[in-house]
A and B are shown apart, each in its own frame.
Chain A
Amino acid sequence: MFNAPHPPVRAVSKLNTIKERTASVHNRRREALAGYLLILPALVLFIGFLGYPLAYSFYLSLTKYNFVYSNTPTWIGLDNYIKMFSDPQFRVALLHTGQFTLMFLPALMLLGLGIASLIQSHAIGGNILQGVIFLPVVVPLSIAGVMFIWLYSGNFGLVNFLLNKVGLGYIGRAWLNSPETALPAIAIVNLWKYTGLSVVLFLAGLLAIPSELYEAARIDGANAFQLLIYITIPNLKETFALVTVWGLIESWKVFALPFVMTRGGPGDSTQVLYLYIYEMAFKYYDVGKAAAMAFFLALIILLLSLLTIRLMQTESQ
């Protein structure tokens, strides 16, 4: 909802003389002119760097165009979009991206809420520890990827080292080399990086719940579990919505980690949609198909986000 404040409304009805009325119209015109001028830089940048490319990309998605081997784009309408679904590699990428989201999103929320509640319950050194958990957020994604390649290494990695130390050495392995563990391993890196943000959001949400609600419920004899279900979670609706939408976008767009860590391998077990789009455009040079898949991905994200917001809204009614 657009709730921006605006300057005090002039008492227009009091302007009766022609002189005063033309003066006020003049003022409004100047205000409008100033408004448009100030918007101009942002508008030009937007149209230039976002609007025009978006339109051109959409046009390309309706053509058959290989950058190297076609001379010009050939119009084929929605063919790319339809043929997409019969491409087994596309289906695999779609599946794996969905699996990745399922591995990442629920864990993100659980960890975020869990850690935030620990901090909110006045754990000792809570602020510092929150900072430590937030630290991975500032580590660039590709660097985190390279770091974890090494951490997950079969011979030289921290993970197997720690497992050995606690006596669980037998499950140690080259985590990125097994088709079953590669995708979850990448999901864990994503969690490592973004949980800090989730914690911040949930903490803000938790702190916004008035403590009177809890006190009143305690007086009525509610136990900890009931407090959680009936007070905490309902009041965190907006936070859940926010974290979900943001988490959905992050996981459907996942690219840097699979690209840096496994390149879609082993086999195709970490082939995700964005990676496939990238390869389609920059390795196979088929920009028509790539643009179509990119718009499809954008559509998925848009729909899921709208769905989440709609769900959260109707529930809070």
Chain B
Amino acid sequence: MNNRFTFMKVASALALFAMLLSACGPAKTPASTTLRITIDSWLIKKWPIDRAAQRFMADHPEFKITVAPNADDYGNNWLLPWSQGQTESDLMCGSMDTTISPFVAKDLLVPLDDMLVDDGKINLEPDQFVTPLLEASKYGDHYYAMPFMGEVYYLTVNTDMMKAAGLTDADGKPIPPKSLNDVYEYAKKLTVKDATGAVQVWGLHLNWAWNSAAITYMALLQAQGGGYLDANGAMDFSSQAALDVMTFARKVVADGYASSATVTDENADRNDMKAGKAAMILTFHSRFKEAQLALGGTDKATVMPWPGSDENGSNAQAIVCVIPKISPAIDLAKQFIREQMMDKDNQQWSANQYGKLPSLKRNFEGLPDPEYQMVLQALDKSGFGPKFVQFNELDKLLQQETQKYILGQQDLNTMFANLLAGSSQLDLTLVSK
């Protein structure tokens, strides 16, 4: 054994260790004049965050802003670091309303009640907001997130197909269906089959994908029955309205006038709409903008209320920003929200480019597309995601049971029985600090 050889090997092993250890140094804490914004990656091109950061820095040269994507959508990757007292984010944008429940439960967020005032320059009092978008951020008595963008479940329709099926009025505007039966008849008229019986154009798409089934259910139920909760505050799985909407949902698929492709492909509906293979889709209203772009004109696609949603509302989702308590730049973050996230120009940019909704009512003024005014009316009465402690479990249960029913694997009564049994085992109290 060569001693020098051994010594070299040992030394290199120790050197390696030194390298590893030095890499785990403590993270540098930035000064409170730097704002680190993190935002969901799908949101980066749909909301002018970079432009907002540039404008803020131009207005306030003493501050520095960085923008980075969240590692996981809805910012779930921040749950662990924030609970351990570490953050690389001062302002986290992108959660879809009640996905911030775990953050609230672990008391990781700064309450934002003091922002909801009129400071003479910018009025952010609660009545200025689109109601469900703000209420979605309220847990207990406090608001923990600021909505800057919104979506609501609405029908996006292909105008030409509606015209061809005789479902438009004298001005060429589609006539909204008045009942579930109407929707069924529409879907029947709009479905186009070829010589072999294969479907070329689907009359209707309802979205039963893993991330949408619960929203679809709540939207249908809200429109039909005025709400999706039962008398005990749990999700309604027994009322006549619930039975009616699900019976309809299955019938329209079983009879061949609606597609069930969304069960495993959450984008089947918007892709079909863009390719001209679907006439009506019930999903986030912003798809109408995508459809207009894909089909070649603002007269090619528009929105239509689901029967009942003009009186009872639909289901809305708020896209929000939150500030972690451990951030060293809390006041800076609040200022950025006030000046840029709530800014009319920024919110309208998102509306005009991607069909997203502003979160303040006054930011709707001056939008060229008439669809926004149509949606705003139903929007104000809409429900939003429930803040149940075990909502994730309920969500999964709902997906599985509704999917089985829609695909014809089980009947209506079994589905509702399973849903009732499953949800009775879950903790459906509301999340609060």
State whether A283 touches B392 (Cβ < 8 A).
yes
Q: List 26 A-B contacts (CB under 8 A).
A: A30-B3, A34-B10, A37-B6, A37-B10, A38-B9, A40-B13, A41-B13, A155-B277, A174-B261, A174-B265, A176-B264, A177-B263, A178-B407, A262-B264, A264-B400, A265-B263, A265-B400, A265-B403, A266-B407, A267-B263, A267-B403, A267-B409, A268-B404, A283-B392, A283-B396, A285-B102
Tell me the chain A residues, 25-45 only, with Cβ under 8 Å from chain B. Answer: 27, 30-31, 34, 37-38, 40-41, 44
Is B57 positioned at the interface, with any CB of A under 8 Å from its CB?
no
Interface residues of A (CB under 8 A from B): 27, 30-31, 34, 37-38, 40-41, 44, 67-69, 149, 153-155, 174, 176-179, 182, 261-268, 271, 279, 282-285
Question: 3 tightest CB-CB pairs across the interface, nearest first?
Answer: A267-B404, A68-B102, A263-B210
State whether A174 touches B264 (Cβ < 8 A).
yes
State whether B407 touches A267 (Cβ < 8 A).
yes
Min CB distance B428 to A, Å, is 13
Residues of A within 8 Å of B390, CB to CB, are 284
State whether B13 touches A37 (Cβ < 8 A).
yes
State whether A154 touches B392 (Cβ < 8 A).
no
Is B63 positioned at the interface, with any CB of A under 8 Å from its CB?
no
- Find the A residue at minimum CB distance from B392: A283
Min CB distance A263 to B, Å, is 4
- Find the B residue at minimum CB distance from A88: B422
Min CB distance A261 to B, Å, is 8
Residues of B within 8 Å of A262, CB to CB, are 264
Point out which of A178, A262, A266, A283 has the most chain B C-beta atoms below 10 A from its C-beta: A266
Residues of A within 8 Å of B115, CB to CB, are none
Min CB distance B111 to A, Å, is 18
Residues of B within 8 Å of A279, CB to CB, are 396
- Find the A residue at minimum CB distance from B399: A265
Min CB distance A87 to B, Å, is 10
- Find the A residue at minimum CB distance from B12: A41
Interface residues of B (CB under 8 A from A): 1, 3, 6, 9-10, 13, 16-17, 76, 79, 83, 102, 105-106, 210, 260-261, 263-265, 277, 389-390, 392-393, 396, 399-401, 403-404, 407, 409
Give A153 to B259 CA distance when docked, in angstroms: 13
Give A27 to B407 CA distance when docked, in angstroms: 75
The DSSP consensus for interface residues of chain B is: helix
Residues of B within 8 Å of A174, CB to CB, are 261, 264-265
Residues of A within 8 Å of B9, CB to CB, are 37-38
Residues of A within 8 Å of B263, CB to CB, are 177, 265-267
State whether B6 touches A34 (Cβ < 8 A).
yes
Min CB distance A256 to B, Å, is 16
State whether A265 touches B6 (Cβ < 8 A).
no
Point out which of B83, B102, B277 has the most chain A C-beta atoms below 10 A from its C-beta: B102
Give A264 to B401 CA distance when docked, in angstroms: 12
Min CB distance B185 to A, Å, is 25
- Inter-chain contact total with CB atoms closer than 8 Å: 82
Among A27, A38, A69, point to the contact of B10 (Cβ < 8 A).
A38
Residues of A within 8 Å of B392, CB to CB, are 283-284
Give A37 to B393 CA distance when docked, in angstroms: 50
Give A285 to B261 CA distance when docked, in angstroms: 30
State whether B1 touches A68 (Cβ < 8 A).
no
* Given A37-B10, A174-B261, CB of A264 within 8 Å of CB of B393: no
Residues of A within 8 Å of B6, CB to CB, are 34, 37
Residues of B within 8 Å of A155, CB to CB, are 277
Residues of B within 8 Å of A264, CB to CB, are 210, 400
Give A255 to B277 CA distance when docked, in angstroms: 33
Give A271 to B105 CA distance when docked, in angstroms: 29
Residues of A within 8 Å of B401, CB to CB, are 267
Residues of A within 8 Å of B79, CB to CB, are 67-68
Min CB distance B277 to A, Å, is 8
- Find the B residue at minimum CB distance from A152: B264
Give A40 to B399 CA distance when docked, in angstroms: 50
Residues of A within 8 Å of B399, CB to CB, are 265
Residues of B within 8 Å of A263, CB to CB, are 210, 264
Min CB distance A146 to B, Å, is 12
Give A246 to B404 CA distance when docked, in angstroms: 34
Give A265 to B400 CA distance when docked, in angstroms: 7
Residues of B within 8 Å of A27, CB to CB, are 1
Residues of B within 8 Å of A285, CB to CB, are 102
Residues of A within 8 Å of B3, CB to CB, are 30
Residues of A within 8 Å of B13, CB to CB, are 37-38, 40-41
Give A178 to B264 CA distance when docked, in angstroms: 9
Min CB distance A64 to B, Å, is 13
State whether A266 touches B396 (Cβ < 8 A).
no
- Find the A residue at minimum CB distance from B211: A263
Give A179 to B76 CA distance when docked, in angstroms: 30
Residues of A within 8 Å of B106, CB to CB, are 68
- Known contacts A69-B105, A177-B264; 8 further A-B pairs (Cβ under 8 A): A30-B1, A34-B6, A177-B261, A182-B264, A261-B264, A262-B264, A282-B76, A283-B392
Residues of A within 8 Å of B400, CB to CB, are 264-265, 267-268, 271
Min CB distance B158 to A, Å, is 17
Among A30, A41, A149, A282, point to the contact of B17 (Cβ < 8 A).
A41
Min CB distance B408 to A, Å, is 9
Point out which of B17, B261, B396, B404 has the most chain A C-beta atoms below 10 A from its C-beta: B396
Give A158 to B265 CA distance when docked, in angstroms: 17
State whether B264 touches A266 (Cβ < 8 A).
yes
Min CB distance B223 to A, Å, is 25
Residues of B within 8 Å of A68, CB to CB, are 79, 102, 105-106
Point out which of A30, A31, A267, A285 has the most chain B C-beta atoms below 10 A from its C-beta: A267
Residues of A within 8 Å of B393, CB to CB, are 284
Give A283 to B392 CA distance when docked, in angstroms: 7
Residues of B within 8 Å of A37, CB to CB, are 6, 9-10, 13
Min CB distance A225 to B, Å, is 44
- Find the A residue at minimum CB distance from B105: A68
Residues of A within 8 Å of B76, CB to CB, are 282
